[in-house]
């Protein structure tokens, strides 16, 4: 039976690389994101890609996304909850509007997608599936001036644990991948220099995001009686262990 995956934030960065890896592995992949043109670029040369523009921060848009998954495929085997944004600023400087934007996308968006996927996985035949949340290194250790991003990513860890527990009766596995300094377009600033916990600015090492895609594929292709609960993948010498 063919495997069906949904990847959010699939138009760029980690989402694009992971979506293409899953397509290469034989999955039918639903590419979700806000910009149809970038989703179509991800789908280029992959006939098993199914483009569905969606905003994970909008409950109606998420409901429409999974209604299309149900219509087109009748099931879902994998959700990669990846869409996310960051608005920098200290807790004293960040506006309530920017705080809410980050929470709506990173946390509420992940909840909405997980809830839709969970219901479909629970009710389909054969039942079950896997949800993988993108937690980020910030789910463990924050960067300076990142209260909204850090708070949402810490919360993703709790969401992952809760889904994992609630999914047990329905053969639904849930794990989390925490990524540090994958070399995407959004990570270009790391090579130029970013603020450190000691107040300095320093360049940081990065690594090829294809290794993230390989890690997600490994997590995804395990049997449902086996789960990688948390996986951390970083540039070997990035300031993470011992940060601060």
Q: Is 27 noted as a catalytic residue in this protein?
A: no
Query: Would you state the pLDDT for residue 184?
Result: 92
Under 8 Å between Cβ of 82 and 8: yes
CA–CA distances in Å: residue 222 to residues 29, 105, 225, 227? 18, 28, 8, 7
Query: Would you state the pLDDT for residue 79?
Result: 99
Instruction: Return the structure tokens found at 91.
Output: 């807790």
Burial grade of 68 (CB within 10 A; 0-12, 13-18, 19 or more):
middle
> Active-site residue among 149, 160, 204, 235?
149
Question: Rounded to two decimals, what is the model's pTM?
Answer: 0.97
The HSE-up count of residue 6 (CA atoms within 13 Å, CB side) is 35
Phi then psi for residue 175, to 5 deg, are: -135, 175
Instruction: Return the structure tokens found at 28.
Output: 């039918």
Cα–Cα distance between 31 and 53 in angstroms, integer?
8
Under 8 Å between Cβ of 182 and 237: no
Mean pLDDT by 10 residues, the chain (244 residues): 95 97 97 97 92 98 98 98 96 98 98 98 98 96 96 98 98 98 87 91 95 98 98 93 66
Query: Would you state the pLDDT for residue 38?
Result: 97
Query: Would you state the pLDDT for residue 243?
Result: 63
Coil, strand or helix at 61: helix
| Domains located in the chain, CATH noted | 4-234 (3.40.50.720)
């Amino acid at each position: 039976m063919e495997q069906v995956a949904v990847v959010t934030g699939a138009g760029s960065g980690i989402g694009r690389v992971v979506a293409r890896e899953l397509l290469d592995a034989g999955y039918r992949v639903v590419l979700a994101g806000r910009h149809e043109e970038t989703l179509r670029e991800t789908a280029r040369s992959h006939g098993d890609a199914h483009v569905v523009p969606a905003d994970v921060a909008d409950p109606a848009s998420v409901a429409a996304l999974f209604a299309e998954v149900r219509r087109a495929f009748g099931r879902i085997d994998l959700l990669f909850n990846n869409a996310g944004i960051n608005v920098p600023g200290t807790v004293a400087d960040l506006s309530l509007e920017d705080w809410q934007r980050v929470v709506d996308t990173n946390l509420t968006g992940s909840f909405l997608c997980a809830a839709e996927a969970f219901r479909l996985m629970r009710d389909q035949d054969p039942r079950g599936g896997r949800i993988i949340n993108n937690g980020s290194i910030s789910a463990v250790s924050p960067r300076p001036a990142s209260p909204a991003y850090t708070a949402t990513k810490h919360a993703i860890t709790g969401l992952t644990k809760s889904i994992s527990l609630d999914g047990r009766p329905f053969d639904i596995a849930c794990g989390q991948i925490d990524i540090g300094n994958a070399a995407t377009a959004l990570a270009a600033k790391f090579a130029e220099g970013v603020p450190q916990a000691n107040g300095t600015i320093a360049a940081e090492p990065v690594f090829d995001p294809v290794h993230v895609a390989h890690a997600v594929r490994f997590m995804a292709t395990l049997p449902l009686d086996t789960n990688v609960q948390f996986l951390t993948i970083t540039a070997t010498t990035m300031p993470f262990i011992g940060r601060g």
